[in-house]
């Protein structure tokens, strides 16, 4: 681990900062020829109370340099963020290095705002008698390996137009593929992955959807843009059916009891999630006991496969978003989507 300063070459390659912080991105070359990208940080402000800038820098992962820094003299806090394993001529033109610079610029633009948030956190923690938060923002330094086969950035300026056009088409195609693949977890996932997929599907239906705080009786709250219809969804992914002993039944009943805005309560279960779709038809997603148990409440029971088919039907022009939303809001009991 380098001390961020000792080597045969140490030069500034970028700089920035906000909120009284001054950051320099330095490139340090050691005696073995390995290059180190190091952020050198200092601050020119001091506060009479609360979290101080220098303490903040150490809190987020910087180390105070006990020596003279060529950029900040005796008030330097440094953090190594990347290692160039082979210092070669022209490495500045490599994409990995460009990405590193972009990341540094974003950090420099936001460090003042980040410090303000940490000051607020520190003040709240003091008020409620808790210790300070001390997680570092940085992981291990990124390793950058420049290969002879890597295409330098300056080549972009001499690419033939047919290649440029094809690359643009490919980038758009990849984006389109990624935007459609986000719905696939609806039929196989559980946990956070399933919840995020449901949120994406609801947003595709042009609903405003957000995840609730842990421990709340619904996983997702959603509403139409005109706020005329609201929804509370409890999400679960399991390898079998929803049975009467499922804790999810208690949760949807509790949400039904405490809801304040006439939300539609929905239990969305990705049942038999490890089975191929063709083999799920022979199974009941919700047992008769569950359906009977909830029959006295306006609660909708549906599966991840139901929501997935809704998305596909809209994509293929078979259904309209408005009709799907109306169905979700007005129907109750076990959804029979066709």
- pTM equals 0.62
| 338 band by pLDDT with thresholds 50, 70 and 90 | confident
Q: Is residue 165 part of a domain?
A: no
For residue 204, the domain's CATH number is: 3.40.91.70
Integer Cα distance of 25 and 107 in angstroms: 11
In terms of Cα–Cα distance, which of 200, 187, 221, 161 is closest to 306? 187
Q: What's the pLDDT score for residue 49?
A: 74
Containing structural domain, residue 192: 184-334
152 and 56: one domain? yes
Provide the token pair at 175.
């984006």
Dump pLDDT digits (tens) for 131-180.
655 566 677 787 777 777 777 778 888 999 999 999 999 999 999 999 99
95 and 151: one domain? yes
92 and 227: one domain? no
200 and 330: one domain? yes
With 80 as the cut, is the pLDDT of residue 202 above it? yes
Domain boundary among 110, 136, 156: 156
Q: What's the pLDDT score for residue 95?
A: 77
Integer Cα distance of 20 and 86 in angstroms: 35
Dump pLDDT digits (tens) for 211-242.
998 889 999 999 999 999 999 999 999 999 99
Q: Is residue 311 part of a domain?
A: yes
Q: Is residue 173 part of a domain?
A: no
140 and 221: one domain? no
Dump pLDDT digits (tens) for 76-117.
999 999 998 776 655 566 778 888 999 999 999 999 999 999
148 and 191: one domain? no
Q: What's the pLDDT score for residue 85?
A: 79
125 and 229: one domain? no
Domain count, the chain: 2
Dump pLDDT digits (tens) for 42-71.
998 887 777 899 999 998 999 999 999 999
Task: For the beta carbon of residue 289, count every other beta carbon within 10 angstroms.
Answer: 13
201 and 326: one domain? yes
Q: What's the pLDDT score for residue 180?
A: 94
């Amino acid at each position: 681990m380098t001390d961020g300063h000792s080597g045969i070459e140490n030069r500034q390659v970028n700089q920035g900062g906000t909120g009284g912080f001054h950051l320099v991105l330095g490139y340090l070359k050691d005696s073995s020829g390995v290059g180190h990208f190091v952020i050198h940080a200092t601050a020119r402000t001091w506060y009479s109370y609360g979290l101080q800038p220098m303490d903040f820098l150490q809190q987020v992962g910087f180390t105070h340099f006990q020596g003279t820094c060529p950029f900040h003299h005796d008030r330097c806090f440094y953090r190594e963020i990347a290692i160039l394993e082979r210092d070669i001529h022209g490495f500045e033109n490599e994409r990995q290095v460009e990405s590193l610079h972009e990341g540094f610029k974003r950090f420099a633009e936001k460090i003042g705002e980040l410090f303000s948030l940490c000051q607020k956190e520190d003040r709240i923690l003091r008020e409620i008698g808790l210790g300070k938060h001390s997680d570092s923002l940085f992981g291990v330094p990124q390793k950058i390996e420049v290969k002879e086969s890597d295409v330098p950035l300056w080549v972009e300026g001499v690419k033939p137009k047919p290649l440029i056009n094809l690359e643009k088409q490919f980038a758009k195609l990849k984006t389109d593929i990624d935007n459609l693949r986000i719905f696939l977890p609806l039929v196989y996932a559980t946990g956070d992955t399933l919840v995020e997929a449901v949120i994406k599907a609801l947003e595709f239906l042009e609903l405003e959807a957000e995840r609730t705080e842990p421990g709340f009786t619904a996983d997702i709250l959603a509403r139409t843009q005109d706020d005329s219809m609201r929804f509370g969804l409890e999400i679960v992914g399991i390898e079998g059916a929803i049975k009467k002993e499922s804790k999810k039944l208690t949760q949807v009943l509790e949400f039904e009891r405490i809801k304040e805005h006439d939300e539609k309560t929905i239990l969305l279960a990705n049942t038999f999630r490890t089975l191929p779709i063709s083999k799920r038809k022979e199974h009941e997603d919700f047992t008769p006991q569950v359906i009977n148990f909830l029959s006295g409440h306006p609660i909708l029971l549906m599966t991840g496969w139901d929501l997935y088919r809704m998305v596909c039907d809209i994509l293929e022009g078979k259904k309209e978003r408005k009709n799907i939303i109306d169905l979700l809001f007005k129907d109750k009991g076990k959804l029979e989507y066709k």
